[in-house]
């Protein structure tokens, strides 16, 4: 009898200790983690380096996917019509913050919600495009980093002319359905006119437009300027294949396209912008209002040259030019 009572007391003690411990474990499992909705304009493979920089900085700030935060990824695949659908999905999921790049996807997110904070790692002219009231006080639910895309057009043309002193005819490719790329195209045209360059516009809207654009180009240009946007990033291998086939020296805004065979790029260090975007997300998840967080500008700019492509095109890059490069790919 005494043995039975002892066993009973041990059993009750065991249940009691388990019951005391259960709420802690249950709360840990049941508590909803903050959720980041990441709306990528292109594809995961095209944006993998950017994602790595973003998630690494989040980890450094204490936000670990699956443990202290949940990150939901969706990909626009360079098709602007998908942005509205994916932004609406994030609103239905009630994410705590939306991270997205470029004017088209930011506008889609902003139209989907005026409540959920939105952070953009890249936007060409957030004030001019109406995304923010000012850089210092964005207002509303949107903040992030400006990529200065339009402002760098003149510098890119200067670099292109340094490599091609005999440049007279310039082709300009841009996704004219993307407001940022369209504005950049206009700026390139304006600068090109001051340099007495003949302009050959190559407007595209879909991936299927790229090959016909090159067919129409034929031998009408000495070089090509490609305006950055998610469609271009998604189709970068296709573009560079056609560029090399046409033997056209080409300048881009980001190193992604130089990695896969483009001649050169000049622009903000994109991975740095994504790292810094994680800091904006951190502030918002800790209670800051996006409208009170100033929009920041790039602090790192990279000139990247693909020397292998230069050799294929029969170009001799000036030594002074190579010395100034931040990265030379061989």
Answer yes or no: do 257 and 286 share one domain.
no
pLDDT band of residue 149 (cuts 50, 70, 90) is low
pLDDT score at 84? 94
Answer yes or no: do 206 and 312 share one domain.
yes
Answer yes or no: do 127 and 155 share one domain.
no
pLDDT score at 148? 67
Average pLDDT over residues 57-62: 98
Q: Which tokens sit at 76?
A: 């626009």
Answer yes or no: do 143 and 286 share one domain.
yes
Helix (H, G, I), strand (E, B) or coil at 308: helix
Lowest mean pLDDT among 69-73, 160-164, 178-182: 178-182
CA distance 251 to 218: 18
Answer yes or no: do 238 and 296 share one domain.
no
> How far does CA 14 lie from the centroid of its chain?
54
CA distance 264 to 253: 9
CB 102 within 8 A of CB 229: yes
pLDDT score at 224? 97
Can you give the residue range of the structural domain that contains 193? 150-268+302-329
For 166-176, write each residue's pLDDT tens digit: 999 999 999 99
Q: Does residue 49 carry a pLDDT above 80?
A: yes
Please count the structural domains in the chain: 2
CA distance 185 to 191: 10
> How far does CA 94 lie from the centroid of its chain?
23
Answer yes or no: do 178 and 243 share one domain.
yes
Does some domain include residue 3?
no
CA distance 294 to 195: 36
C-alpha R_g of the chain: 25
Burial zone of 143 (CB within 10 Å; 0-12 exposed, 13-18 middle, 19+ buried): buried
> Percent of the chain beyond pLDDT 90?
70
Answer yes or no: do 62 and 129 share one domain.
yes
Does some domain include residue 93?
yes
Lowest mean pLDDT among 29-33, 72-76, 301-305, 321-325: 29-33
Q: Does residue 101 carry a pLDDT above 70?
A: yes
CA distance 271 to 55: 11
CA distance 282 to 39: 17
Does some domain include residue 181?
yes
CA distance 292 to 182: 29
Answer yes or no: do 325 and 210 share one domain.
yes
CA distance 57 to 40: 18
Helix (H, G, I), strand (E, B) or coil at 78: coil
CB 103 within 8 A of CB 124: yes
Residue among 118, 158, 126, 166 at smallest CA distance from 142: 118
Q: Does residue 1 carry a pLDDT above 80?
A: no
For 69-92, write each residue's pLDDT tens digit: 999 999 998 888 899 999 999 999
Answer yes or no: do 186 and 310 share one domain.
yes
- Ranges of beta strands (E only) in 28-90 are 35-40, 70-75
pLDDT score at 200? 96
For 5-45, write each residue's pLDDT tens digit: 544 555 444 444 444 444 433 333 446 899 999 999 888 88
Q: Residue 234 maps to which CATH number?
A: 3.40.50.2300
pLDDT score at 31? 66
Does some domain include residue 274?
yes
pLDDT band of residue 203 (cuts 50, 70, 90) is very high
Helix (H, G, I), strand (E, B) or coil at 74: strand
Does some domain include residue 27?
no
pLDDT score at 214? 95
Answer yes or no: do 108 and 138 share one domain.
yes
For 258-285, write each residue's pLDDT tens digit: 999 999 999 999 999 999 999 999 999 9
β 223-226/250-252 pair status:
parallel
pLDDT score at 150? 60
Does some domain include residue 133?
yes
Answer yes or no: do 185 and 311 share one domain.
yes
For 113-138, write each residue's pLDDT tens digit: 999 999 999 887 787 777 888 889 99
CA distance 273 to 155: 20
pLDDT score at 161? 94
What's the predicted TM-score (pTM) here?
0.82
Does some domain include residue 8?
no
Centre a 10 Å sphere on the Cβ of residue 247 and count the other Cβ atoms it contains: 11
Does some domain include residue 322?
yes
Answer yes or no: do 156 and 120 share one domain.
no
For 102-118, write each residue's pLDDT tens digit: 788 899 999 999 999 99
* Residue 193: its H or E element: helix 179-194
């Amino acid at each position: 009898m005494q043995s039975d009572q002892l066993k009973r007391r041990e059993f009750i003690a065991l249940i009691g200790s388990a019951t005391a411990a259960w709420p802690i474990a249950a709360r840990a499992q049941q508590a909803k983690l903050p959720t980041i909705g990441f709306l990528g304009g292109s594809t995961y493979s095209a944006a993998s380096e950017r994602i790595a920089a973003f998630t690494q900085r989040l980890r450094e700030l204490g936000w670990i996917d699956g443990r202290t935060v949940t990150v939901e990824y969706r990909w626009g695949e360079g098709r602007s019509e998908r942005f509205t659908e994916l932004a609406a999905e994030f609103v239905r999921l009630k994410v705590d913050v939306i991270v997205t790049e470029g004017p088209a996807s930011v506008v889609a997110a902003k139209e989907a919600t005026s409540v959920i904070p939105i952070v953009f790692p890249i936007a060409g002219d957030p004030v001019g495009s109406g995304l923010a009231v000012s850089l210092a006080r964005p207002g509303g639910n949107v903040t992030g980093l400006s990529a200065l895309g339009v402002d760098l057009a003149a510098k890119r043309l200067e670099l292109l002319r340094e490599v091609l002193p005999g440049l007279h005819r310039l082709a300009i490719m841009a996704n004219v359905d993307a407001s940022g790329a369209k504005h950049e195209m206009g700026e390139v045209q304006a600068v090109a006119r001051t340099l007495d360059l003949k302009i050959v516009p190559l407007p595209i809207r879909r991936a299927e437009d790229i090959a016909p654009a090159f067919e129409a180009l034929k031998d009408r240009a000495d070089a090509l300027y490609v305006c950055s946007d998610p469609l271009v990033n998604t189709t970068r291998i296709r573009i560079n294949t056609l560029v090399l086939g046409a033997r056209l020296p080409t300048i881009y805004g980001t190193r992604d396209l130089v990695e896969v065979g483009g001649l050169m790029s000049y622009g903000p260090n994109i991975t740095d912008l994504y790292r810094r975007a994680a800091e904006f997300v951190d502030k918002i998840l800790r209670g800051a209002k996006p409208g009170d967080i100033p929009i920041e500008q790039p602090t790192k700019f990279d000139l990247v040259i693909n020397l292998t492509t230069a050799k294929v095109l029969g170009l001799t890059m000036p030594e002074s030019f190579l010395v100034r490069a931040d990265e030379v790919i061989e």
